[in-house]
Chain A
Amino acid sequence: MGEVSRLLVDYGPAFGQALFLTWKLTVMSFVAGVLLGMAVTVLRLLPVPPLRFVLTGYVEIFRNIPGVVLLIFIVFALPDLDVVIDYEPSVILTLSLVCSAFTADYLRTGINTIPGGQIEAALSLGMRPMRIISAVVLPQAWRAVVQPMTSLLIALMLSTSLASQVPFPGRELTALVSKVATDSAAGMPAFAVAAALYVATGLLIAWAGATLERKVRILR
C-alpha cells in the first residue's frame, strides 16, 4: 500500500489525465463507430447487390483484422500513399472502423428478431421504405442489441490501450504504465492502479448497460 501511495504522489495527476484520455478515446470512437455501423446496416438493407457485396466485405475485413495491424497501417503505411493522419485521429479512426463492423453485425442480428409481419403492416399503412427503417426497424433493433453493444463498448475501452503503440503526445493508461515501468522501479504499483481503473470503468459500463437493458428490452 505504501508503494501505491508514493506512486500516486509522484504520478497522481498523470494517472488522472491518462484515465481521462482513455475515456475520451473510448467515447469518441464508440460514437463514430456506432453512427458508421448504423449507416452500413441501413445501406446493407437496400436491394442493391454491388453495394451489399462491398459492405459485407467491409464488415468481414474490419471484424477480422487485428486492431494493431490496422492502426500501424494507418499510422506508418498510409503516409507512403501521401495520406497523413495525426496520431490521435488515427487511433480513433482505427477503433471506430472496428467498432462499426461489429455494430453492423450485431444490429443485423437485432433486425432479424423483428417479426416480418411488422414490416408488412407498415407497408400496408403506406409508409415509405426509409420511414419503415427509421421508425419501425431501427428502434426495435437497437433495443434488442443493448447487451452485445455493452460488451462491445467494454472491449473498445480495453482496445484504447492500442494507443500506446504510436508515439502519442498524451498518454493513456497502458502507455503511462509502460513509461512508469521504464523510468522507475514502480512498475508493479503502476500496473495495479491502471488495472483497477480499467476494471472499475468496465464494471461501470457493464452496470449502466444492464440497467438500460432492463428498461428497454422487448419480451417476445
Chain B
Amino acid sequence: MRVASASAAIVLLLLAAGVGFRFHAAGQLDARFWEFFAWPTTWSFLGRGLLGTLTSAAMAAVIALTLGLVLLAGRLTRLRLVRWPSIATIEFLRGTPTLLLIYVCFLVLPPAGIKLSTYWMLTLPVSLSTAAVVAEVYRAGVLAVPRGQAAAARSLGLTEVQVFFLVVFPQAVRYIVPALVAQLVIVVKDTTFGYVVTYGELMENAKVLIANYHALVPVYLVVAVLYCLVNYAISSASRRLGRPMH
C-alpha cells in the first residue's frame, strides 16, 4: 500500500507540475498579472465586493426565513382557498431558476413601470426562490415532530396558533438547523448573479478588476477561492451544528 501511496503522490505532483507549466507556457505567471494583488486597493475593492455579496445574502436569508414561515403557514392551513395558492406559489418559486427570476426583475418589470434598485433586483429574486425552499424545509421539520406533541398541547387547551408556535415549530426548528444553514450556501452562490444586474458584489467587482488589468486567470482564480472559502466555512458550521442532533 505504501508503494501505491507513493506512486499516487508522484502522479498527482506531476499533474500539478503540468498545470504549473501550462500557466508558465501561456505567460500567466508574468509579474504584471499578479503584482496588483500586492496593492491594498485591490483587496479593499475585492473586500467591498465580498461585503456586497454578504449584505445581499444576509438580507435574502432574513426575508426567506420570514416569508418561508408565511408560506408554510399557508400550506398547513385547512382552508383550501389559502392552502392551494400557497402550494402553487411554493412549487412555482421552487421550480423556476433564480436566474430567470432575476431576468424578470431586470428586463420585464422596468418596462412595466416597476423600477427596483440593482440591490433589490438581485436580492428579491434570491429571497423569493429561497423562501419557497425554506418553506419545504420547515415543513419537513414540522412533520418530523412526533404527533403526540401537538395532541398533548391541544388536550391542554392551547389554541391551534399556540400549538404551532409554542410547541411544534420550536421543536421543528431544532431538526432542520443544519439544512437551513446549508441553504445559506445556495443563497451565497445565487448572489453571484449580481453581475447580471451590475450590483457591486464580488463577481461584478472581479469583472471591473479584469477590465483594468486584463488578468482574467488570476482574478477569477482568486474570486473562486474566496467563494469556496466563504461557502466552506458555512458548510463546516452546518456540519458542526448537525452533529449533536443525530
Q: Which residues of A approach B to under 8 Å, CB–CB?
A: 46-51, 54, 60-61, 63-70, 72-73, 76-77, 80-83, 154, 158-162, 164-165, 173-174, 177-178, 181-182, 185, 187-188, 191, 194-195, 198-199, 202-203
A29 to chain B, nearest CB (A): 15
Interface string of B30-51 (1 = CB under 8 A from A): 0000000000000000000000
A181–B103 CB distance below 8 A: yes
B residues less than 8 Å from A82 (CB atoms): 22, 25-26
The verdict on B228 contacting chain A, using a C-beta distance below 8 Å, is yes
A residues less than 8 Å from B94 (CB atoms): 202
Chain A interface, >50% SS class:
helix
A188–B108 CB distance below 8 A: yes
B residues less than 8 Å from A195 (CB atoms): 92, 95-96, 100
A66 CA to B189 CA, complexed, in Å? 5
B227–A64 CB distance below 8 A: yes
Given A66-B189, A191-B100, decide whether A76 and B216 contact each other with a Cβ distance below 8 A.
yes
A54 CA to B8 CA, complexed, in Å? 10
Per a CB cutoff under 8 Å, which of B97, B103, B221, B228 touches A159?
A: B97
Q: Tally B residues with Cβ within 8 Å of A.
A: 45
A73–B220 CB distance below 8 A: yes
Given A80-B216, A161-B99, A162-B99, decide whether A182 and B107 contact each other with a Cβ distance below 8 A.
yes
Given A174-B99, A191-B104, A195-B96, decide whether A48 and B8 contact each other with a Cβ distance below 8 A.
yes
A203–B189 CB distance below 8 A: no
A69–B8 CB distance below 8 A: no
A176 CA to B92 CA, complexed, in Å? 19
Q: Which residues of B approach A to under 8 Å, CB–CB?
A: 1, 4-5, 8-9, 12, 22-23, 25-26, 28, 91-92, 94-100, 103-104, 107-108, 111-112, 185, 188-190, 192-193, 196, 203, 216-217, 220-221, 223-224, 227-228, 231-232, 235
B91–A181 CB distance below 8 A: no
A47 CA to B2 CA, complexed, in Å? 10
B227–A69 CB distance below 8 A: yes
B residues less than 8 Å from A177 (CB atoms): 100, 103-104
Per a CB cutoff under 8 Å, which of B12, B107, B190, B223 touches A51?
A: B12
A residues less than 8 Å from B190 (CB atoms): 66
Pick from B4, B95, B98 the residue with the most CB of A within 10 Å.
B95
B9–A81 CB distance below 8 A: no
A81 CA to B217 CA, complexed, in Å? 8
A64–B231 CB distance below 8 A: yes
A147 to chain B, nearest CB (A): 12
B residues less than 8 Å from A165 (CB atoms): 196
**Closest A residue to B189 using CB positions:** A66
Pick from A61, A63, A77 the residue with the most CB of B within 10 Å.
A77
Per a CB cutoff under 8 Å, which of B26, B188, B203 touches A81?
A: B26
15 sample A-B contacts, Cβ–Cβ < 8 Å, listed by A number = A48-B4, A50-B8, A64-B227, A64-B235, A65-B227, A69-B192, A72-B220, A73-B220, A80-B26, A83-B22, A158-B97, A164-B99, A174-B100, A182-B107, A203-B91
